[in-house]
Each structure stands twice: as C-alpha cells, then as structure tokens.
Amino acid sequence: MKCDKLMKLLAQTVASRKTASLVWIVLLTGVVLVSATAEAKSKPNELVIRIEEGRDTINRNIYGHFSEHLGRCIYEGFWVGEDSPIPNTRGIRNDVVEALRQIKIPVLRWPGGCFADEYHWKDGIGPREKRPSMVNTHWGKVTENNHFGTHEFLDLCEQLGCEPYICGNVGSGTILEMQEWVEYITFDGKSPMADLRRKNGRDKPWKVKYWGVGNENWGCGGRMRPEYYADLYRRYSTYLRNFAGNRLYKIACGPSGANYHWTEVLMREAGRHMNGIAPHYYCGSGKKSRSATRFSEEDWFAQIKRALYMEELVSKHSAIMDKYDPEKRVAMLVDEWGAWHKVEPGTNPGFLYQQNSLRDALVAAVTFNIFNNHCDRVKMANIAQTINVLQAMILTKGEKMILTPTYHVFDMYKVHHDATLLPVELECGDYQFGDEKIPALNVSASRDKTGKIHISFCNLDPKNIAELICKLRGAKGQNASGRILTADAMTAHNTFDNPEAISTAAFDDFKLKGDILRVTLPSKSVVVLGIK
Ligand code: AHR
C-alpha cells in the first residue's frame, strides 16, 4: 500500500472511532512498515569477491558439448561429406569448425544420447559405401547410413582441437563390443582390432580419455534399476583397458534430475570403480507457450527459475557423493543439460530443432555460474546439443550458418576456462513475478593465469536495471573492460535473414576505484568484466 493511501485510511479511522491511542499504535506500526519497505527497496545490491581465497580450478570441460546422431546435428550440422559444395575438410564443415574453435570447445561427447545405446560401432568403420545402414529408432525413425563413424568423429575432434568423449553401448550392446572399441581406437601393437584400424587407414592409435559406460540407463538406455545398472557398470568397466599410455577416465550413467536414490546406490555400489558420474537435467521450456521465441514474461520467469534449480540439484547430489567420496575423487559430469522447447513449426518433431533466444542465453549464463561455483565437484558439463538440436550454439540451413545467443555466452565465458574460482558473496534484491520471486542477480568470478580477474554477471529481471557495488577483497584493480549480451526484447534471436539481431557489444557502464567496482547492469543482460 502506498504511504498517502495509508495515511488517508488512518485519518478515516480516527474520525470514525475516535480512539486516539489505538490510532497512534496503528500509525506508528504503519510508519515502521513503510520505512522498512523503503529501506528494503533502497538497499544496494552488494557483491564481495574473496580474491585471496581462490583455490579450486574451473575445469574448462565445464564448457563442453554434446553431439548425437539426432536430427541435423551430425548430418548437415558437422558432416556434409567430401563431395559437398559446402566448404569442408574431409567431409566436415569448415565454418562450423572455425566457429567452435573460436569458443575454444574443450570436449565433445558422441554418439549419444539415447542413440549411444543402440549404436554398433563396427557399422561405422571401413569404406563408407559398404557400411550397413540402420533405423534411428529414437529420433524420427530415419535411416542412418553410418557415414559418420569412429574415424570421422576423431578427425572432427582433431580439427576442433578438443578432447573426444565416447559413450559406449550398454543397453543393447555387449561387453566384448565395448572392449573391442577401446582396443580398436587405442591399441598400438599387433592385435585384431588395431590391425582392422590400420586396414581402415589409421596407423597410429588415437588417445581417448573420456569413456561413458551407457547413457540414461534408467530410461532409453535399458530402463534399469540403479542396483542392476551398478552391477553392470562394474562388469563393463572391468574390461575397459588402458593401452599404449592411454588412461581411460570411466564415467557412469548418472541420475535424471532429482533422482537422489540413483546417485546414492551408484556411489555406494560402484563409486570406487568410476572416475565420474553423469547426471542429466533439462530445464524444460516456459510455463505456457513452450515456444522458443514466442513467450510471455511468465514463461521467461518460469524458465529462468527452472534453470536456477540446477543449484539445488548439484548441491544435493554433491552432498550424497561427499558421503562416499569425501576427498572428491569422483567427479560430477553433467553431460546433458539445457533448455528444451517445442520444435520449430513445420520441422520433424523427432529432430528436436528449436530456435534460441536471449532467454536461452540467460539459462546458459546462470548454469555456468552455478557450475563454476561448484567446480570442486563439477568437472565437466556438455550442453545439449552443439548444432541444430535443442539448445544449440549453431544453426545451419544449407550452406548458411548462424550463431545463437547461447553461442555468445560460451564466447564471453571462455575467460573462465582453467581459471581459479574466486568465492563470492552476493546480497541482492529479488525479481518478483506474481506471487513468486527469484534473486535478480547471479554471479561467478575467477582469476586467470595472468592474474586477471573476470566476473560474469546476469541480471535476470527483464524490466529493471540493477546497480551493484562489488568489493574486491584482497586486490586493487587498475583498469577494466567488459562485454555485454542483451537486447530490447526478451525474445530476441538470430535468423538466417537477420543473423546479427543479437550479438555481444562493448560494455562500459561501470566505475572502478581501487578495490571498489560499481556496475549498472541493464535488464535481461549477461555481462562479463575483466579487471587487471
Ligand atoms: O539430448 C536429447 C536426448 O535427451 C538424449 O538422447 C537423451 O540422453 C536425453 O533424454
């Protein structure tokens, strides 16, 4: 209630009741309430960055990717074939490789996803015209010609300069099949699989560190109970051998969202045999429209709130892991995450092709802040998926390619790769929508190897700017510079006709004086500042 209305009401009460003492009590209470509200409103947003307490490294693999044989991610996205008029290197699109090198893609997960548990790797080697085809039963029941297989994937990773992460088939495969795949890729001596690799044109073994033992085995990967999968994990992982100096980093299928029981059983029964466990969480879409680009503020709020839920998930799964692994030897690898909207009108529903707006950029930015702030346990994350599927970085149409707002967040946040996390304390106002509220701001900070400090800020409120005072505890800054991603509309997105509708720009709405930094964050924005 506004102050003048309250006073009016009180005056009326005086006239009608003439009970002066009661009125004074009410009046005083009202004044106290009004001034408390005013104080809450005027309380500045404050951030303390404890620079001297930096300890943990933000593993660059937190900025990892996921590519599945799904829709147009592999075919048309990465792979166009050697005879394509689209410029390519051994069948792999040059424009895509260049764009992903720009964001320093650190690791790429393949071949799925649900596809991984029905993939038989031997179908994807040898002369392409002789490779058998299969039906991709999960994704649109289309014919998969297996033209993109092990050699093409590892070539892609070499072109990208990133680590490969292969997910093996537990759901419909065999232990022997998975064991032979590792031998095929990494064995250097004479062996049936290494000889087959040589026959297929690759003499030297590759190095593959990250190896997943099945995908979503609680669902599309076999509908297993955690007790059953934990035993299978132990069995499969026994036969995954280290050859020729290649050390495998074995990753168990993790829980879906808040399935804490899965984490508990896996850690208890198989924790000592794994290097990592991989939870999945998709933050869905908005509340009503589910469209990637036509949504209301209600949808914006609901989507961001669901993205922030990652904080609770990571904290609670970490607490269970701490029980069995207090030294944090086993990593959490969130190897599928992102926003999942309705497919674009007129596209195959099994292809999961969606547009990508400023809202998705905010989803990515808060998720990265959460992962950064939990980097003592979270060592890898893989957004779903790199090209043309779900929360993509890149969309393609024939020879055309556009970069999404989410791509720009990866670009802005690459300064955190392998930097030292700086602990932060943030006190901020809320972004209220209807009866619900979330903190309006979201932050993480790090110091890179040259000593430069980077702070990534999100203002989640789509209507109000936020003033923030930052105290750099333990350091003084000489100069700073920044970049921003924002737009006039919440729904802003790039299209093939307007590929630069939303992009990053230089940002200078801040003042740095010694250890105090004052920043004005525009509504619905992502800002990254670098301080020397
Ligand atoms: O990323 C799309 C699908 O989502 C993956 O194939 C599956 O693992 C998850 O359910």
Ligand 1 atom closest to 282 (CA):
4
Helices (H), 148-274: 150-160, 175-186, 192-199, 226-238, 260-270
Give the SS3 label for residue 497: coil
The protein residue whose alpha carbon is closest to atom 4 in ligand 1 is 113
Quick one: pLDDT at residue 27? 43
> Bridge partners of 506?
483
Q: pLDDT tens digit string along 228-283? A: 999 999 999 999 999 999 999 999 999 999 999 999 999 999 999 999 999 999 99
Residue ranges around ligand 1 (CB below 6 Å): 68, 112-114, 215-216, 336, 384-385, 390
Indicate the pTM of the whole model: 0.92
Contact 526, 516 (CB under 8 A): no
Query: How far is it, in rounded angstroms, from Cα 364 to Cα 390?
Result: 13
User: Ligand 1, closest atom to CA 114?
Assistant: 6
Evaluate whether 235 touches 277 at the Cβ level (below 8 Å).
no
Could you identify the residue written with the tokens 């556009």? 402
Question: Relative to the CA of 384, which ligand 1 atom is closest?
Answer: 1
Per residue in 427-464, pLDDT (tens digit) is 999 999 999 999 999 999 999 999 999 999 999 999 99
Angle between helices 358-373 and 297-324 (to 10 degrees): 20
Region of 206 (left: φ > 0; alpha: ψ -120 to 50; beta: rest) is: beta
User: Ligand 1: distance of its center to the CA of 391 in Å?
Assistant: 12
Selection from 194, 329, 161 nearest residue 249 by Cα: 329
> How far is it, in rounded angstroms, from Cα 28 to Cα 18?
17
The answer to whether 216 is a known catalytic residue is yes
Counting ligand 1 atoms within 8 A of each CB, the residue from 65, 73, 74, 114 with the most, and so the one to mutate, is 114
336 is catalytic: yes
Encode pLDDT of 98-109 as tens digits. 999 999 999 999
Residue 29 has pLDDT above 80, yes or no: no
Residue 360 · residue 405 · CB < 8 Å: yes
Backbone phi, psi, residue 159, to 5°: -65, -35
The model's confidence at residue 43, banded by pLDDT at 50, 70 and 90, is low
Q: How many CB atoms lie within 10 A of CB 43?
A: 11
At 293, list the tokens.
Answer: 């680009």
Residue type, position 465, single letter: I
| pLDDT per position as a tens digit, 328-363 | 999 999 999 999 999 999 999 999 999 999 999 999
Ligand 1 atom nearest the C-alpha of 113 is 6
Q: Name which residue sits closest to atom 1 of ligand 1, judged by CA.
A: 384
Distance of alpha carbon 95 from alpha carbon 101, whole angstroms: 10
Catalytic residue among 216, 264, 297, 311: 216
Select which of 336, 427, 467, 500 is catalytic.
336
Confidence at 46, pLDDT banded by 50, 70, 90: very high
Q: What is the CA radius of gyration of the chain?
A: 26
